[in-house]
Structure 1
Amino acid sequence: YREPVTGWLDEADGYNTLRNNICHAVWTEGKRPLSIKPLTLNLRGGKGKMVGTDDSDKDYTEIELALIADRLRKIHNELHKFLKTNFPNALPA
């Protein structure tokens, strides 16, 4: 059972920084037309670094964000189906 679950969780984890940015960052205009990017401040060792001010920082279009959301929903649904099939008592009714 480990392989499929690990695959789903690893893939979902790849979007963790984006999830944190959606929840906690201020968003600004991206380099590409109709794109946005997170603007954050990283503090390490008492020094701050602004992330999102450089043109090379990752930006997202509405379509790209929607596709990521669709993929995360698919991962959730696949994991839920797997758990329901293999461990029916693990999920609430």
Structure 2
Amino acid sequence: MIKKGNGNGSGNGNGNGNGKKGKKKASSAQLTPQQIAVVVGLLTNALEVLSVLIDKDQNIQIVLQGSIRKKTKADRLAEELDEVSVGDLIEAFIRK
């Protein structure tokens, strides 16, 4: 024997289980912790885009790289001296 629901939202066939017929809750964008981490990483410049790949089926891959380690004063100095040759750097220390 099959029993029918009493119309209180259980077994009424509307699939939402909340007892409201025909009304659906507006879906809001739910971000996962991983997505939040990527957004924060991009906004704080902790992550940078290395490449964007699109294949023949229009699938997209975005390759990111970064570090969550805070940059030290030496790291920032090394970035500034990135284009200076080792010889020029040694000469500068000798002249000092």
Per the shorter chain, which TM-score range?
A: under 0.3
Q: TM-score, normalised by structure 1?
A: 0.27
| Pair member with larger Rg | 2
Whose relative contact order is higher, 1 or 2, with alpha carbons under 8 Å and at least 6 apart? 1
Structure having the higher helix fraction is 1
